[in-house]
Amino acid sequence: MSDCVEVEGKVIAVLPGTMFRVEIANGHQVLAHISGKLRKNFIKLTVGDRVKMEMTPQDLEKARIVYRLKNAEVPRSVPRRSFGPRR
């Protein structure tokens, strides 16, 4: 899309149906959904993730998330794997 505006924001809520509430740097909140490439590559988004979004100038209330930015301030816990009881 050539007529889209790229902005960065922070995920503040995960909603049903792969929708997210994202806050932009100026405090404005938008409703965003993830793009097809993120779905295809199984990119997971959680609260606190910084994302890059595309918005159209006509509707500034909705956006499409196109990239999850690398952010060191969000600790991601590694799941512990259980392989049965230890002997």
Contacts of 71 (CB under 8 A, 6+ apart): 48, 49, 50
Which architecture does CATH list for 5-68?
Beta Barrel (2.40)
Average pLDDT (61-79) is 77
Q: What is the DSSP string of 5-50?
A: EEEEEEEEEEETTTEEEEEETTS-EEEEEE-HHHHHTT----TT-E
Give the pLDDT confidence of 28-62 residue by residue, as tens digits: 999 999 999 998 998 889 999 999 999 999 998 99
Q: Where are the domains of the chain?
A: 5-68
CA distance 82 to 19: 32
Model pTM score: 0.75
The DSSP 8-state label assigned to residue 79 in this structure reads: P
Residue 63's H or E segment, with its range, is: strand 62-68
CA distance 45 to 51: 9
